[in-house]
Amino acid sequence: MKKHVDFLVIGTGIAGLSFALKVAAKGRVCILSKASADEGSTLYAQGGIAAVMNALDTYDKHIQDTLVAGDGLCDEEVVRFTIEESTRRIEELIGWGAQFDRKTTGEFDLAREGGHSEYRVLHHKDQTGAEIERILLKEVKNHPNIELLEHHFALDLITQHHLGAEVNRRTPDIACFGAYVLDEKANRIDTYLAKLTMLATGGNGNVYATTTNPVVATGDGVAMVYRAKGKVANMEFIQFHPTSLYNPMEKPSFLISEAVRGAGGRLCTLKGDYFMSRYDRRLELAPRDVVARAIDSEMKLTGDDHVYLDCSGISKTEILGHFPTIYAKCLSIGIDITKELLPVVPAAHYSCGGIVVDEHARTSIRHLYASGECSCTGLHGANRLASNSLLEALVFSHRAAEDAKTQVDALSYCNDIPEWNDEGMVLNEEMILITQSLREVQSIMSSYVGIVRSNLRLQRALDRLAIIYRETEELYNRSVHSLKLAELRNLIKVGYLIIKMAMARKENRGLHYNIDNIVNK
């Protein structure tokens, strides 16, 4: 089946939904969600969204904090316009209906997180992402020009690589014409033709065994663009959130918000030794790469499999008022954080690299945009400043929408696209191989490409991943396609990119830390 739309949006987080709402007046929009519409990283974003909303704060302060966290690799122009547009984007969210916590005076109750010099993080208790997702989905579902399809998984972008030789000659540079989409319920692969496509597919945390990302975060957008020969960069910069709840049987790992440390939570070893003073003068409010490496170092020194977060410096009133979800979650496994130490461990949390985009979120592939965690904008550099990600998605989706609205009327559909060809494919009955290969990939990445790396570990990871890649490609090329097999293939591609870019970087910068780079200095 072929379907024609003006705008195809792949992903239903803050990046995809806000873009869809802004272009809907110019044409028909179809949004695809590989799971239920609200299942994505936006839903799980606890801490908040950073913006200059305080009379004591300034754009320059926020810009400087972002540049410092990015460890010299941020694009300063991108940082500047993103921060300077923050206030307008927040006001827009509020206009849609987002409710951010306020003081009794009516002022925003702003939080301060690691790396921030001022209180500038807006939040809705500890469920900020869920509140934003709620209001955006409500707006999308009520819009007459927007169609939202759940359980529709984009297998691959359609580019001229899928066309005949004659069309290829007419289109020498790479262009996107839509996507091949697996309709899980109908069990068929359809052809979605679009004038413009937005990738808002989120992160790739499930390439690691321990992650705060939802299970849908399998690097789909990055893998699709790389297969289509688009530009991808900075994949070595994987941010490990310093504090996820240590509860080994739970996936994804439950996030303990940065704001808990901002409110006074302190890190200590199992013996009660408060250790952050040995690593950074900013203590628990140092940037995430510093705190995560400090915890990793202490765990290696002691042999312990977690550390503690001591919340005794936070009043019970504040915990119940600001962190009710965290309090309830911990209580459900027998930990009262108003009285007991909270066990925490670092977990893969955010990818600072991804699909290379310009200031309008345009990728290197014509007619294709990317926004949110799947993109590499230049804002984060080598390390993301806490709570800048939701802001980045809003700003770049807005800029993409403004650009797309000027382009769409001049574009037409490419009608030479062939239907998906699965002739000769067989029903895959080897789910055990897919499940086992996924575990192997996650084990390889966690063991060898984690917070601290070495040349030997990276080479070992590359060699082992190559075997799984060959086996999976063979299975993929002879199987009727399934969501799980496609996700595995994407994760292997993402793992390869992380390893290769980590091997290419010969300096320790931000989130990339290789012990051999110290030796070679």
Per DSSP, 68 falls in state H
Residues whose CB is less than 8 angstroms from the CB of residue 192 and which lie 6 or more positions away in sequence, other chains included = 2, 3, 5, 8, 30, 32, 178, 179, 180, 181
Surface-to-core class of residue 505, CB atoms within 10 Å of its CB (0-12 exposed, 13-18 middle, 19+ buried): middle
In which region does residue 115 sit, left (phi positive, over 0), alpha (psi from -120 to 50) or beta (all else)? left
Measure the CA–CA gap between 213 and 64, rounded to whole angstroms. 28
Measure the CA–CA gap between 253 and 318, rounded to whole angstroms. 24
Q: Around Cβ 138, how many Cβ atoms within 10 Å?
A: 13
Which one from 89, 112, 266, 288 is the annotated catalytic residue? 288
Residue among 495, 400, 325, 389 nearest 41 (CA): 389
In which region does residue 279 sit, left (phi positive, over 0), alpha (psi from -120 to 50) or beta (all else)? alpha
In which region does residue 272 sit, left (phi positive, over 0), alpha (psi from -120 to 50) or beta (all else)? left
CB 46 within 8 A of CB 257: yes
Report how far apart the first and last C-alpha atoms of the chain are (Å, whole number): 58
Q: How far is CA 210 from the centre of its chain?
A: 15
Q: Around Cβ 200, how many Cβ atoms within 10 Å?
A: 33
Residue among 292, 276, 294 nearest 284 (CA): 276
Measure the CA–CA gap between 470 and 450, rounded to whole angstroms. 23
Residue among 266, 216, 288 nearest 71 (CA): 288
Residues whose CB is less than 8 angstroms from the CB of residue 509 and which lie 6 or more positions away in sequence, other chains included = 71, 72, 73, 382
Measure the CA–CA gap between 322 and 104, rounded to whole angstroms. 14
The verdict on whether 288 is a catalytic residue reads: yes
**Peptide bond between residue 214 and the one before it cis (omega within 30 degrees of 0):** no
Measure the CA–CA gap between 21 and 143, rounded to whole angstroms. 8
Q: Around Cβ 512, how many Cβ atoms within 10 Å?
A: 24
Q: How far is CA 365 from the centre of its chain?
A: 21
Q: How far is CA 455 from the centre of its chain?
A: 26
In which region does residue 424 sit, left (phi positive, over 0), alpha (psi from -120 to 50) or beta (all else)? left
Catalytically active residues are 288
